[in-house]
Amino acid sequence: MSRRDPSTPLSRRNFLGLGTAQDSLAGRGATGTLRDPSVVGRPRSPTDARENDAQIQAIEKRLACNCGCTLDVFTCRTTDFSCTYSPALHREVLALRDEGKTAQQILDAFVTKYGEKALMAPKPQGALNLTGYLLPGALIAAAGAGLLVFIGKRKAAVAAAARGSARATTGTASPDELEKLRRALAEIED
């Protein structure tokens, strides 16, 4: 780090580093020089249009990245640039596509090589997988039906209580009770 000459006034421009000349090469400047760019990250080969094909994206969105991020291969390779797994899986998809395999054949090849965990969602086959697909929907439907039954019973109870209270207010009162009520109301109005 360079030291400031005490004879030079410290302006805001100099304080922010705007007054110092920058080297035109990337990685050089007032903060230092980057000696070896390869230590920063892995060099990557440039992409071509074939790699961003809609069919390739659709296949990669059905495959899970095995780096532990819980993302699909396409999302992981386009958002997490520190992941080393998703670019390798992407190259595998491209190699299988270059061999002339269909999307389903590529998915089957991944399942054969990595197991069922290679897919973002398991195949709807077998008791366990079918349970995983059907159980959440069945639970939501049962909860909705239970809620409708509860609301219906609650409405019936409220209506019955309202009818009961209406009968209680229209009950018979003795003439003495009615006279006391009239007197009490008269006192309040005065």
Question: Going by C-beta distance under 8 Å and a sequence separation of 6 or more, which residues neighbour residue 31?
Answer: none
Please name the residue that has the structure tokens 């421009």.
Answer: 13
* Cα angle 127-129-135, degrees, rounded to a multiple of 5: 85
Q: Residue 1: its pLDDT value, please?
A: 46
For residue 178, the one-letter residue type is: L
Tokens of 79: 């958002």
| Residue 153 pLDDT level (bands cut at 50, 70, 90) | very high
Mean pLDDT of 135-159: 92
Q: Residue 147: its pLDDT value, please?
A: 95
Of 1-10, 32-41, 69-78, 141-150, the range with the highest mean pLDDT is 141-150
Q: Which long-range contacts (CB under 8 A, 24 or more apart) does 140-146 make?
A: none
Structure confidence by residue, pLDDT tens digits, 60-111: 888 988 888 888 888 888 887 778 888 888 889 999 998 999 989 999 998 8
